Structure 1
Amino acid sequence: MSYVDLSIPDLALAALLLVVNGALSFALGLRFELSLAVAALRMVVQISAIGMLLKFVLGQTSPGWTALVGLVMVLVAAFELLRRQERRFRSWVMYGLGSAVLLLTGGLGALYAVAIVAGPELLSNPRYLLPVLGMALGNTLTSASLSLQTLAEGVELERGAIEARIALGATRFAAFSSLLQRAFRTATTPLIAAMALAGAVAMPDMMAGQILAGADPVAAARQQIMIMLVLAGAAALGALAAAVGGVRLLTDKRHRLRLDRLAQA
């Protein structure tokens, strides 16, 4: 098995397409060249940092380092989940909700996937666990973010109907039923589309990376199928858990609607 060791000049050549896009944006007055440059620079710094960190962690024998890096990944993902919301909850309980959702669904999904691929004895091995955890958190972050955003936007539009149902004796979840369905459907649509298009239109990143590294294509395809199934399931559970948690945050113990807990747009 071999792989291509890219040099700094190789990476600079790869960035030329982004430079062309930035130049076109500047010439046409589209004004997205700065955000494009910042995002690209942030990506380079973050991936380089995680590469160096993983090189250090992989050289350690203590599972404590794996747990610590995994915890940091969950906390950073929870902060990103909070930052993505256009209508944010006023309470920092939202950060706790995001951390819990990502840890329980993304974290357990990663553990489950590694247990299938590498075996239970390698659950503490960072070489297997951390990359899968990163993929699980990324998928769950996107689905949970879409779910919460749909919920926060929809609750204002359906405020009258929700309050009417509650006044007639409905529980909070019965009153939010149609909105919960829409939030879950919105959050899971990208997951369904990704599974439907995988292989036919686009080659998944993990499979492509393994093939480039010299792995057998059939074995790489099987691992990609397993990963996509597990991560899609974890992300869907994350979307549902986020929506349910959001409903609880938007209501009090007497099931009354509390829109004051949402920050102003």
Structure 2
Amino acid sequence: MAAAARRDGVSAPLSLWQVALAAALLLVNIVLSWRLRLGLGRDIAVAGARMVAQLLLVGLILGWVFALRHPLPVVGIGLVMTLLAGQASVGRVRRRYARVYLDSFVAVFGSSFVLTGLTLAGILQIHPWFEPQYAIPILGMVLGNTLTGVSLALDRFTSDVLGRRGQIEGRLALGATRWEAAHSEVAAAVRTGMLPTLNSMAVMGIVSLPGMMTGQILAGAPPTTAVRYQIVIMFVLAASSALGSLTVVWLAFRALFDARDRLRAERLRGAPAGPTPLRNFLARPR
């Protein structure tokens, strides 16, 4: 029956016991955690349960949205996904400032919505543009990739600004503008945000088969069609990681350097208080 379904261009159906059998594979992680005393057993079980519950809920919601075929639910779901992605991208950032969540949301929203809209209306030419079958999965892939780039870039920039505070303030003391003083840190952060996608592109098709391509093939699409869709998506993901990383680093730069070309490192949560060694040296009587 499964083989017949695949020949007819439909993915093979999965029963609940087959899904439960796959879930049993988590025992590998749990046993390793127990034997090596990693302390991850509870986290693994909770993560697996949350994933199942969330995906089942998403499946029900998407079934309802697909039946409506109206732009408002699609845009609403997209905004909720973007809000959660913006929050998640800050989760692993070690140094934060007052409006970091807003800046992260703006970076994720700007890059993801613009590029998803361009992909749907301009490249794939989907009609109507809000077709849920295309809009929500593509936005989800773009958001997942963008939040990784935003998180890595933001963490690298804030860590470098704090770790290289003396060098940056030294450049400012010698007359450099805030952009000249922090240019190398900005460039390093944006590069860090872009690297994961570029690394994936470099080995795609040789070392790994990407998820979208695999999913389409399992659903019965011709491999050549699946490959073309994956190429388009990867170019979009590369652009989204670059745009999102640049945007969040630029916003963080504006938050940590004021208009008078001063580094305001005290705005970073956890930054050491008081004057820096450079300021102590400059203030020392001669």
- Compute the TM-score of the two structures, normalised by the length of structure 2: 0.88
1:252 counterpart residue number = 258
1:117·1:223 contact (CA, 8 Å) conserved in 2?
A: no
Q: Which amino acid aligns with 1:72?
A: V
2:150 counterpart residue number = 144
2:164 maps to which of 158, 179, 187: 158
1:200 maps to which of 206, 225, 229: 206
Query: In the TM superposition, what is the alpha-carbon distance from 1:120 to its structure 2 partner?
Result: 5.3
Give the fraction of aligned pairs with identical amino acids, expressed as a percent: 41
Query: In the TM superposition, what is the alpha-carbon distance from 1:146 to its structure 2 partner?
Result: 0.2
Gaps of 5+ in 2: 1-8, 272-286
Give the aligned length: 263
Give the distance between the partners of 2:270 and 2:51, measured in 1 at CA.
31
2:93·2:154 contact (CA, 8 Å) conserved in 1?
A: yes
Paired residue secondary structure (2:172) = helix
Paired residue secondary structure (1:121) = coil
Paired residue secondary structure (2:68) = coil
1:59 aligns with 2:94: no
1:36 aligns with 2:52: no
Q: Which amino acid aligns with 1:179?
A: E
Q: Which amino acid aligns with 2:138?
A: V
Runs of 4+ in 1 over 3 A off after TM superposition: none
Give the distance between the partners of 1:16 and 1:121, measured in 2 at CA.
42
1:24 maps to which of 9, 18, 32: 32
From the superposition, tell whether residues 217 and 29 of structure 1 become closer, same or farther in structure 2 (CA, over 3 Å).
same
Give the distance between the partners of 1:24 and 1:100, measured in 2 at CA.
40
- Compute the TM-score of the two structures, normalised by the length of structure 1: 0.94
Query: In the TM superposition, what is the alpha-carbon distance from 1:178 to its structure 2 partner?
Result: 1.0
Q: Which amino acid aligns with 1:139?
A: N
Asked which structure has the greater CA Rg, the reply is 2
Q: Which amino acid aligns with 2:155?
A: Q
Q: Which amino acid aligns with 2:257?
A: T
Q: Which amino acid aligns with 1:81?
A: S
Deviations for 1:50-95, whole angstroms, at most 9, x for unmatched residues? 1111111111132111111111111111111222212222x1x222
1:237 maps to which of 243, 246, 249: 243
Q: Which amino acid aligns with 2:33?
A: S
Give matches, 1:1-265, under 5 Å: 1-89=9-97, 91=98, 93-119=99-125, 121-264=127-270
Gaps of 5+ in 1: none
1:251·1:257 contact (CA, 8 Å) conserved in 2?
A: yes
Deviates more, 1:220-229 or 1:40-49: 40-49
Give the distance between the partners of 1:261 and 1:124, measured in 2 at CA.
41
